[in-house]
Structure 1
Amino acid sequence: MNSVPILRQLQKHANNGIPLAVLEHTKVEDQKVQLSYLDLLCCVRSLSSSLKVLLDAKAQKLPRHVAFFVNPGAAYVVTELSIWAAGGVSVPLSIHSPVPELEYFVKDSESCLCLADSAGASKMRTVAEKLDRFFAEIKANESPVSFCLFAEGANDVKAPKAELSCFSCCCGLFAKPAVDSNALILYTSGTTGQPKGVVHTFRSLTSQMVSLSQAWKWSSSDRTLHVLPLHHIHGVQNILNTALYNGAAVEFCGFDSAFCLKRLTSGLITCFHAVPTVYVKFTQYLDSLPPDEKAALCLGLRKPNLRYMVSGSAALPVPTMKSWAEISGHVLLERYGMTEIGMALSNKIDGTRFPGCVGWPLPQVQVKQDQDGGILVKGGPVFKEYYKRKEATAKEFTSDGFFRTGDNAQKGGSPEELQKLQDDAREVEAASGRPLKGTKQEPDRALGTIFRILGRTSVDIIKSGGYKISGLEIESVLLQHEKIRECAVVGKPDETWGEKVTAVCVLESGTSLDIKELRDWGKERMASYKVPQELDIVTELPRNQMGKLEKKKILERFKQSA
Structure 2
Amino acid sequence: MLLSLLFPHVSWPVRCLIRDLRHCTRGLYGQKRAGCSRRGLQTTWTACSSDVTPVFTRALAFGDKIAIVDQNGEHTYRDLFSQSLRLSQEICRVLKCSGRDLKEERISFLCPNDSSYVVAQWASWMSGGIAVPLYKKHPVQELEYVIQDSQSALVIAAEEYVQKMAPSAERLGVPVLPLLKSHSNGSASHTALEEVLLTTNSSWKGRGAMIIYTSGTTGRPKGVLSTHENIQAVTTGLIDKWEWKKEDVILHVLPLHHVHGVINKLLCPLWVGATCIMLPEFSAQMVWKKLLSSQAHRISVFMAVPTIYAKLIEYYDKHFSQPQVQDFVRAFCKDNIRLMVSGSAALPVPVMEKWKNITGHMLLERYGMTEIGMALSNPLHGLRVPGDTAAYKDGVYWIKGRTSVDIIKNGGFKISALEVERHLLAHPHIADVAVIGPPDIVWGQRVSAVVQLRKGEMLSLKDLKDWARETMAPYSIPTELIVVEEIPRNQMGKVNKKDLLRRFYPT
Q: TM-score range by the shorter chain?
A: 0.7 to 0.9
- In the alignment, does 2:316 pair up with 1:286? yes
Instruction: Tell me which of 13, 20, 43 is aligned to 2:66.
Output: 20
What is the CA–CA distance in structure 2 between the aligned matches of 1:62 and 1:108, rounded to whole Å? 18
Residue in 2 aligned with 1:121? 162
Per-residue deviation, residues 91-150 of structure 1 (Å, max 9, x unmatched): 10111111111111111110010111122222211110000101111111257599xxxx
**1:125 to 1:300, Cα distance in 2 relative to 1, 3 A:** farther
Instruction: Tell me which of 546, 549, 562 is aligned to 2:495.
Output: 549
Offset at residue 48 of structure 1 (A): 1.3
What is the CA–CA distance in structure 2 between the aligned matches of 1:532 and 1:512, rounded to whole Å? 17
Offset at residue 55 of structure 1 (A): 3.1
Residue in 1 aligned with 2:88? 48
**1:301 to 1:281, Cα distance in 2 relative to 1, 3 A:** farther
Offset at residue 300 of structure 1 (A): 5.5
Residue in 2 aligned with 1:470? 416
Residue in 1 aligned with 2:441? 495
TM-score norm. by structure 1 comes to 0.75
Amino acid at match of 1:534: E
Instruction: Tell me which of 384, 395, 405 is aligned to 1:448.
Output: 395
Offset at residue 77 of structure 1 (A): 0.9
Amino acid at match of 2:227: T
- In the alignment, does 2:196 pair up with 1:173? yes
Per-residue deviation, residues 289-330 of structure 1 (Å, max 9, x unmatched): 153484266246424230011111111111111111111111
- In the alignment, does 2:222 pair up with 1:196? yes
**1:294 to 1:469, Cα distance in 2 relative to 1, 3 A:** farther
Offset at residue 559 of structure 1 (A): 4.3
Offset at residue 173 of structure 1 (A): 2.5
- In the alignment, does 2:331 pair up with 1:334? no
**1:485 to 1:449, Cα distance in 2 relative to 1, 3 A:** same
Q: Does the aligned pair in 2 maintain the 1:265–1:303 contact within 8 Å?
A: no
- In the alignment, does 2:293 pair up with 1:266? yes
Structure number with the bigger relative contact order (C-alpha 8 A, sep ≥ 6) is: 2
SS of corresponding position for 2:336: coil
Amino acid at match of 1:47: L
**1:72 to 1:300, Cα distance in 2 relative to 1, 3 A:** farther
Offset at residue 216 of structure 1 (A): 0.6
- In the alignment, does 2:211 pair up with 1:185? yes
Offset at residue 10 of structure 1 (A): 2.1
Q: Does the aligned pair in 1 maintain the 2:347–2:388 contact within 8 Å?
A: no
Residue in 2 aligned with 1:10? 59
Amino acid at match of 1:461: I
Residue in 2 aligned with 1:344? 375
Equivalence map 1:396-475=2 (5 Å): 446=393, 448-449=395-396, 451=398, 453=400, 456-475=402-421
SS of corresponding position for 2:95: helix
What is the CA–CA distance in structure 1 between the aligned matches of 2:487 and 2:103, rounded to whole Å? 44
**1:333 to 1:91, Cα distance in 2 relative to 1, 3 A:** same
Residue in 2 aligned with 1:437? none
What is the CA–CA distance in structure 2 between the aligned matches of 1:9 and 1:450, rounded to whole Å? 39
TM-score norm. by structure 2 comes to 0.82
- In the alignment, does 2:178 pair up with 1:137? yes
Offset at residue 171 of structure 1 (A): 10
Residue in 2 aligned with 1:484? 430
Offset at residue 178 of structure 1 (A): 3.3
Amino acid at match of 1:20: I
What is the CA–CA distance in structure 2 between the aligned matches of 1:136 and 1:452, rounded to whole Å? 44
What is the CA–CA distance in structure 2 between the aligned matches of 1:61 and 1:143, rounded to whole Å? 25
Offset at residue 188 of structure 1 (A): 0.9
Q: Does the aligned pair in 1 maintain the 2:157–2:177 contact within 8 Å?
A: yes
What residue ranges of structure 1 are gaps of 5+ in the alignment?
27-31, 147-167, 360-410, 413-445
Equivalence map 1:24-423=2 (5 Å): 24=70, 26=71, 32-56=72-96, 64-142=105-183, 173-174=196-197, 175=200, 176-253=202-279, 254-267=281-294, 268-289=298-319, 291-292=321-322, 294-295=325-326, 298-299=329-330, 301-356=332-387, 358-359=389-390
SS of corresponding position for 1:262: helix
SS of corresponding position for 2:180: strand
Q: Which segment drifts farther, 5-14 or 183-192? A: 5-14
Q: Which segment drifts farther, 96-105 or 3-12? A: 3-12
What is the CA–CA distance in structure 1 between the aligned matches of 2:104 and 2:228, rounded to whole Å? 17
What is the CA–CA distance in structure 2 between the aligned matches of 1:188 and 1:540, rounded to whole Å? 33
**1:60 to 1:228, Cα distance in 2 relative to 1, 3 A:** closer
Per-residue deviation, residues 480-506 of structure 1 (Å, max 9, x unmatched): 111111112221211110011111111
Q: Does the aligned pair in 2 maintain the 1:459–1:552 contact within 8 Å?
A: yes
Amino acid at match of 2:398: F
Q: Does the aligned pair in 1 maintain the 2:291–2:333 contact within 8 Å?
A: no
Residue in 1 aligned with 2:482? 536
**1:179 to 1:356, Cα distance in 2 relative to 1, 3 A:** same
SS of corresponding position for 1:105: helix
What is the CA–CA distance in structure 1 between the aligned matches of 2:429 and 2:307, rounded to whole Å? 32
What is the CA–CA distance in structure 1 between the aligned matches of 2:493 and 2:242, rounded to whole Å? 49
Indicate the RMSD between aligned Cα atoms, in angstroms: 2.6
Q: Does the aligned pair in 2 maintain the 1:464–1:499 contact within 8 Å?
A: yes
Amino acid at match of 2:370: T
Residue in 1 aligned with 2:30? none
Per-residue deviation, residues 52-73 of structure 1 (Å, max 9, x unmatched): 2223359999961011111111
Q: Which segment drifts farther, 512-521 or 347-356? A: 347-356
Q: Does the aligned pair in 2 maintain the 1:336–1:358 contact within 8 Å?
A: yes
SS of corresponding position for 1:486: strand
**1:290 to 1:324, Cα distance in 2 relative to 1, 3 A:** closer
More strand per residue = 1
Q: Does the aligned pair in 2 maintain the 1:190–1:461 contact within 8 Å?
A: no
Offset at residue 197 of structure 1 (A): 0.6
Q: Does the aligned pair in 1 maintain the 2:52–2:232 contact within 8 Å?
A: no
- In the alignment, does 2:440 pair up with 1:509? no
**1:60 to 1:226, Cα distance in 2 relative to 1, 3 A:** closer
Q: Does the aligned pair in 1 maintain the 2:408–2:414 contact within 8 Å?
A: yes
Per-residue deviation, residues 426-450 of structure 1 (Å, max 9, x unmatched): xxxxxxxxxxxxxxxxxxxx45356
What is the CA–CA distance in structure 2 between the aligned matches of 1:72 and 1:225, rounded to whole Å? 12
What is the CA–CA distance in structure 2 between the aligned matches of 1:63 and 1:554, rounded to whole Å? 47
Amino acid at match of 1:468: K
Amino acid at match of 1:265: L
Offset at residue 553 of structure 1 (A): 2.0
**1:114 to 1:143, Cα distance in 2 relative to 1, 3 A:** closer
Amino acid at match of 1:512: M
What is the CA–CA distance in structure 2 between the aligned matches of 1:478 and 1:62, rounded to whole Å? 40
How many pairs align? 446
What is the CA–CA distance in structure 2 between the aligned matches of 1:35 and 1:87, rounded to whole Å? 24
Offset at residue 550 of structure 1 (A): 2.3
Offset at residue 545 of structure 1 (A): 1.1
Offset at residue 233 of structure 1 (A): 0.7
